[in-house]
Structure 1
Amino acid sequence: MSVVTVQLGQCGNQVGQELFDIICSDAQEGQRKTYSVASCERFFHQTAHGDLVARALLIDMEPKVINRSMSMAAKSGRWSYGESSHFSQKQGSGNNWANGYCVHGPRHRDAVEELVRREVERCDRLAGLIAMMSVAGGTGSGVGTYVTQCLRDIYPSSFILNHLTWPYGTGEVIVQNYNSVLTLAHLYQLSDAILVHENDTVHRICSQLLNIKHISFSDVNRVIAHQLGSILQPALTADSHGAYSRNPLGELVSALACHPEYKLLSMCTIPQMASSSIAYSTFSWPGLLKHLRQMLISNTKMEEGIDWQVRPPAESGRSRSLAGGSFNTSLANLLILRGKDVYSAETGGIDDPALYTSWLSSKEAFSLWKSPVPFNKYEKSATLVSNSQALLRPLDDMVGKAWNMFASRAYIHQYIKFGISEEDFLDSFTSLEQVISSYSQLC
């Protein structure tokens, strides 16, 4: 089954190009033919000459980033984007969600839907769609939300995963919190699951783990793409009976997003290090999984700075709130192990019932995928995708900042002139406050 990726805005297109580059390189270096074939079928279609073309659409209101992404793909010599798989205009959305959602989205709906339809029809069987976007700007967030709404209307029974890049807390755009609130509130009604990467976290990985001195957006996007690839590449599931998973999005959603009130997914991957250090490093499965478990329960996104003092609470102390306790309660977790001796690896205690909410058994809440093929040059690697309280704090902070701006009516007129009313803002705040409440009470 095949996955169609919709790359939206500057961030979505840059991350998407890095992702396909990693996936293609990893598939072609795979030690097993079945792995390579499964990966290529999932993410590429082949021309009559055998060239790999990404199952992807590139959408932006300005052509610069799309042109660069297509050029970078062609220069790789391994894969390319389709010649007619992109859509752009001459003018962007001005970092305004309302401009993207109310103006650019509806104006170009027919053209974008036709691009999607053509790409979907190239698939023998559609596993689902991934919409990749930022939440800070105007095109990625506004047009991205509108396009997701169109995808839901056209393909009501298909799985839709939204991958969101969360802005730096110090601010990239003055109205980024407005854009983020409107995006998340709408996507919560449309998407099956929302996978989030925080720029602040990825930036720290680049600095502290990869030892990059002058960090560029390309460096950040490459880390995000590496983590995404570690999820999306073929793996063996408990029910696959020795064959690589046929429906990656369906199995991801069913493993992690079992309740419509809980759709926010975070992730962490270990090890992550500078490529020059990989050849001189060795890892054991018990060591990797011990670190990964503690990263989960202490809500640490990278190996450095793990709080080893955090422990699962006693049964009598399971009730927690946003303000109390440092233990990160999980609703569901998906552990993905790749590489040498993978079948000998135990779960590292990530299936411990104490880590999960009391109303779902750990047998239902924990899923394990494995592949003996090393990923992206790492002999052993482990990825954890978690539906937990990990995003509770950044979500609450973002909503709080947006509410403070809204209370003083800052920049509201910029949204009203494009068709978003104050009532739309209030509905979005109400929706996300309910999400915050639900995750706060997860116990």
Structure 2
Amino acid sequence: MSIVTVQLGQCGNQVGLEFFEVISNDANDRQRKVYSECTNDRFFSETSNGDLVARAVLIDMEPKVISQSVAKAVKSGKWRYGEHSYFSQKQGSGNNWANGYCVHGPRHEELVVDLVRKEVERCDRLAGIIAMMSVAGGTGSGVGTYATQCLRDAYPNSFILNHLTWPYGTGEVIVQNYNSVLTLSHLYQLSDAILVHENDTVHKICAKLMNIKHISFSDINKVIAHQLGSVLQPALTGDSNGVYNKNPLAELMSGLVCHPEYKLLSLCNIPQVSSSSMVYSVFTWSGLLKHLRQMHISNTKMEEGIDWQVRAPCLQSGGLERTKSHRRKGFNTSLANLLILRGKDVYSAEIGGFQDPSLYTSWLPAVEAFSIWKTPVTFNKYEKSATLVSNSQALLQPLDYMVGKAWNMFASRLRGGPWRRWTKGRCCLPPPLHLGR
């Protein structure tokens, strides 16, 4: 089954380019014929000349990034984008969500939906759609939200996964928090799942783990693409009987999004080292999984700086009892987790630590909350790698921060604007949003 990728805005198109680079390089090995064929069928169509064409639609309100992406894909010599699979205009959305959602989106709806329809028709069977976008700017957030709405109407029974890149906390765009809140509020009603990467986290990975001195957006996009590929490349599920999973989106969502109100997913991947250090690095499954589990329960985004003081709460009779001390130490409770293991000796890995009922909510049995995919095939030159996709409390802190910043900006403008209302000499504002679980 095939996946159609819709790349929206500057960030979505740049991340999408790096993603296809990662999976094409990973699958370009004649010794892994079945694995490569599964990858190619999932993400590429093949022309009569044998060229691999990405199952992707590129959308932006400015032509520069799309032109660069198309040229770089051709230059790779391994794959390319379709000749008529992209759409751009000569003016952007001005970092304005409303401009993208209310103006550009409706104006170009027919063209965008038609491009996606043509790409879907090239698939023998559609597994689902992945929309890649940022939430900070105007096109990715505004047009991306409107495009997702159109895709939901056009394909009501297909899975839609939105991959979102969250902006730096210090700010790239002055209205980025407005754009982010508006995007999330709409996508939560439209998408089947929302997978999030935070720029701040990926930047730290580049600096501290990859040892990159002068970090560019290209470096950040490569890390994001590597982590995405570690999830979406072929793997064996528990009941696959030795056959690679046909529909990774369906299996991912059925395992992780078990409640319609909880669909924000975070991702941790281990190890991540610079190419120069990889030659001298030796990893064991016990060491990797020990670190990954502690990263998860302590809500640490990377190996460096793990808080080893955080412990899972004790299992009491009749359910879980989490003390105040655990909450103070930042224990990250999960609704569901998906563990993906790739590489040598994968079947010897001990995964019992992730099946611990104390990691999960009391209203969902651990056996239902935990899923695992495995493959002995190495990924992206790593002899062993582990990825954890989690539906947990990990994103609450950055989400609360984003909503708080948006509220403070709104409140400050309201106090000084013509819409203020006074009661007994004081300005009365509605209470701030609370999006905690």
TM-score range, shorter chain: over 0.9
- Tell me the C-alpha RMSD between the 2 structures: 1.9
* Partner Cα separation in structure 2 for residue 70 and residue 97 of structure 1: 26
Report how far residue 437 of structure 1 moved: 3.0
Q: Deviations over 1:362-419 (max 9, x none)?
A: 1000000001110000000000000000000000010011011111237999xxxxxx
Change (3 A) 1:410 1:373: farther
Counterpart mapping for 1:335-374 below 5 A: 335-374=339-378
In the alignment, which residue of structure 1 is the partner of 2:212? Answer: 212
Counterpart mapping for 1:69-108 below 5 A: 69-108=69-108
* Partner Cα separation in structure 1 for residue 259 and residue 113 of structure 2: 29
User: Partner amino acid for 2:436?
Assistant: S
Secondary structure of 1:29's counterpart equals coil
* Partner Cα separation in structure 1 for residue 193 and residue 238 of structure 2: 21
In the alignment, which residue of structure 1 is the partner of 2:380? Answer: 376
Secondary structure of 1:53's counterpart equals strand
* Partner Cα separation in structure 2 for residue 377 and residue 53 of structure 1: 24
In 1, are the aligned partners of 2:313 and 2:323 still within 8 Å (CA)?
no
Counterpart mapping for 1:285-434 below 5 A: 285-314=285-314, 315=316, 317-318=321-322, 324-409=328-413, 433=434
In the alignment, which residue of structure 2 is the partner of 1:33? Answer: 33
Secondary structure of 1:265's counterpart equals strand
User: Partner amino acid for 1:365?
Assistant: A
Report how far residue 337 of structure 1 moved: 0.2
In 2, are the aligned partners of 1:30 and 1:373 still within 8 Å (CA)?
no
In the alignment, which residue of structure 1 is the partner of 2:424? Answer: none
Report how far residue 279 of structure 1 moved: 1.6
In 1, are the aligned partners of 2:298 and 2:306 still within 8 Å (CA)?
yes
User: Partner amino acid for 1:145?
Assistant: T
Report how far residue 248 of structure 1 moved: 0.7
Change (3 A) 1:200 1:353: same
* Partner Cα separation in structure 2 for residue 233 and residue 202 of structure 1: 21
In 2, are the aligned partners of 1:332 and 1:388 still within 8 Å (CA)?
yes
TM-score, length-scaled by structure 1: 0.92
* Partner Cα separation in structure 1 for residue 76 and residue 27 of structure 2: 14
Higher RCO, Cα 8 Å, sep 6+: 1
User: Partner amino acid for 2:269?
Assistant: T
Q: Deviations over 1:231-284 (max 9, x none)?
A: 000000011110000001000111101101100100010000001111211111
* Partner Cα separation in structure 1 for residue 168 and residue 73 of structure 2: 27
Report how far residue 313 of structure 1 moved: 1.6
Secondary structure of 1:79's counterpart equals coil
* Partner Cα separation in structure 1 for residue 21 and residue 404 of structure 2: 38
In 2, are the aligned partners of 1:293 and 1:348 still within 8 Å (CA)?
no
Q: Percent identity?
A: 75
More divergent stretch after superposition (315-324 vs 349-358): 315-324
* Partner Cα separation in structure 1 for residue 234 and residue 3 of structure 2: 12
User: Partner amino acid for 2:305?
Assistant: G
Report how far residue 166 of structure 1 moved: 0.4
User: Partner amino acid for 2:356?
Assistant: D
Secondary structure of 1:80's counterpart equals coil
In 2, are the aligned partners of 1:290 and 1:348 still within 8 Å (CA)?
no
Change (3 A) 1:215 1:383: same
Secondary structure of 2:353's counterpart equals coil
Q: Deviations over 1:94-113 (max 9, x none)?
A: 00000000000000000001
User: Partner amino acid for 1:118?
Assistant: K
Change (3 A) 1:31 1:356: farther
In 2, are the aligned partners of 1:322 and 1:392 still within 8 Å (CA)?
no
More divergent stretch after superposition (403-412 vs 128-137): 403-412
User: Partner amino acid for 2:399?
Assistant: L
In 1, are the aligned partners of 2:165 and 2:197 still within 8 Å (CA)?
yes
User: Partner amino acid for 1:81?
Assistant: Y
In the alignment, which residue of structure 1 is the partner of 2:421? Answer: none
Q: Deviations over 1:57-116 (max 9, x none)?
A: 000000000000111100000000001000000000000000000000000000001000
In the alignment, which residue of structure 1 is the partner of 2:66? Answer: 66
Q: Which runs of 5+ in 2 are unaligned?
A: 418-429
In 2, are the aligned partners of 1:159 and 1:250 still within 8 Å (CA)?
yes
* Partner Cα separation in structure 1 for residue 174 and residue 378 of structure 2: 42
Secondary structure of 1:403's counterpart equals helix
User: Partner amino acid for 1:437?
Assistant: G
Structure 1 runs (4+) deviating above 6 angstroms are 319-323, 410-413
In the alignment, which residue of structure 2 is the partner of 1:240? Answer: 240
In the alignment, which residue of structure 2 is the partner of 1:441? Answer: none
* Partner Cα separation in structure 2 for residue 200 and residue 156 of structure 1: 34
User: Partner amino acid for 1:391?
Assistant: L
Counterpart mapping for 1:106-255 below 5 A: 106-255=106-255
* Partner Cα separation in structure 1 for residue 338 and residue 73 of structure 2: 31
Report how far residue 349 of structure 1 moved: 0.4
Change (3 A) 1:196 1:411: farther
Change (3 A) 1:318 1:115: same
In 1, are the aligned partners of 2:6 and 2:129 still within 8 Å (CA)?
yes
Secondary structure of 2:372's counterpart equals strand
Aligned residue-pair number: 421
User: Partner amino acid for 1:292?
Assistant: L
